[in-house]
Amino acid sequence: THFLDTAHLLCPLPVLKARKTLSSMQTGEELTVIATDPMAQIDIPHMCQEDGHSLVSQTAHADVLTFVIRCGDHKNVE
């Protein structure tokens, strides 16, 4: 499992960093992303849908959002 801490970064940085990390991962590997920007609740699921990744879980605890993303076959995404 890969881990990405984007706490205290504002939109669009959490999505851009997640996308960059996912691009170097193998299909089926999982990435856990930590974010504090409320927009990530919209942006990260949207990125997963656009890029062919699976959003395994999305949780919120206090101001911290945690996303678990299963890497899709992004090699077909331009």
CA dihedral 39, 42, 45, 48 (to 10 degrees): -70
46's enclosing H/E stretch is helix 40-51
Reply yes or no: is the peptide bond before residue 14 cis, omega within 30 of 0. no
The one catalytic residue in 11, 13, 25, 34 is 11
State the DSSP code for 21.
H
Catalytic residue list contains 48: no
Return the active site residues.
11
